[in-house]
Amino acid sequence: MTAMAAGLLLAVLPHPALAQGSYPDPLPITGQQIIHDPTVLRLKSGQYVAYSTGGVIGARLSKDLRNWADAGNAFAEPPEWWFEYNGTGDPWAPDLSYRAGRYWLYYAVSSWGTNHSAIGVATSPSGLPGTWTDHGKVFASETTDTWNAIDPAITRAGGRLWMSFGSYWTGIRMVELDPGTGKALGGATVHHLATRPDAPYAVEGPSLVRHGRYYYLFASYDACCAGVNSTYKIRVGRSTAITGPYTDSTGKPLLEGGGDLLLAGHGRYVGTGGESVFRTRGQDWLAYHYYDAEDNGTPKLGLNRLGWVRDWPVVKQSRS
């Protein structure tokens, strides 16, 4: 979920190293397809759940990744503290993970065009909607900060817990979390992972995963949330250290505007972004939203298998 007006965005040419001339279509799905900023995980029950921006963290359930049913919301009502950040208690861009015998749901609360924002966390024994206990703020930003505390993504590395986050306001950042509370360590260093050369620094929505000896930072660039006029696309860089520096396949740092183009709009699938990466049954998957040009720009769920070629990710055709 972007936090600045789409009209401010800058166009960026892709690095040619891994950019594809054409992109594979997402997995054909049925049922409830409407979604924004999806985070997907296979639960211990065997079901897949997708949480998203919209509602009080909207929920979808599937048995096979192909047919999705509306499952209501993570919460019945917004926690009271959310209203400090917007008048409707509207949450954005959740991130779902499992550790220490519990499911952890991170999310952001903010208002369009401001970095008066906060990231919160809730836990659940099952990961299902309606079972979440909120634990309040993890990390916050104010208008005096040079970062924006939205779009969280959780990663474990070397026995430590990290949260990447960010949107505009100089791009993607990272802080270390306390594994016990799931909240930012007191006085934690705010690491800088990726940005653009010029304002408004249109990069956001990180997802960070380990593959082999590298950490891979996926992020959404350009204009979200404008239907068929959206220019969202997904770029990626990698590093041998969780805190960076991250570079693309040409060696250009992501802190200097680098990033290999992984997936862009094509055909009816406009503005691909808001991504997350998950693994199930030995296969990596890329989840994202796109705006359907054949359905008035409605945001829908995109799922593609993610492959690896010479230690770089590639989007693959997903079987029908």
Active-site residue list: 37, 204
Instruction: Report how far residue 252's alpha carbon sits from residue 260's, in angstroms, rounded to the nearest whole number.
Output: 9
Instruction: Report how far residue 206's alpha carbon sits from residue 269's, in angstroms, rounded to the nearest whole number.
Output: 21
By the 10 Å C-beta count (0-12 exposed, 13-18 middle, 19+ buried), 225 is classed as: buried
User: Rounded to a whole number, what is the largest CA-CA distance in the chain?
Assistant: 49
Output the CA–CA distances (angstroms, integers) from residue 207 to 96, 235, 310, in the order listed. 11, 11, 20
Which has the closest alpha carbon to 232: 263, 193, 255? Answer: 263
Instruction: Report how far residue 60's alpha carbon sits from residue 43's, in angstroms, rounded to the nearest whole number.
Output: 12
Neighbours of 22 (CB within 10 A): 7
Which DSSP string do the residues of 48-112 spell out, in sequence order?
EEEEESSTTTEEEEESSSSEEEEEEES-SS--GGGGGT-TT--EEEEEEEEETTEEEEEEEE--T
Instruction: Report how far residue 240's alpha carbon sits from residue 224's, in angstroms, rounded to the nearest whole number.
Output: 30
Buried b (16+ CB within 10 A) or exposed e, 24-54: bbbbebeebbbbbbbbbbbbeeebbbbbbbb
Residue 83 has phi, psi (to 5 degrees) of: -70, -10
Interior angle at CA 228, CA 226 and CA 230, nearest 5: 45
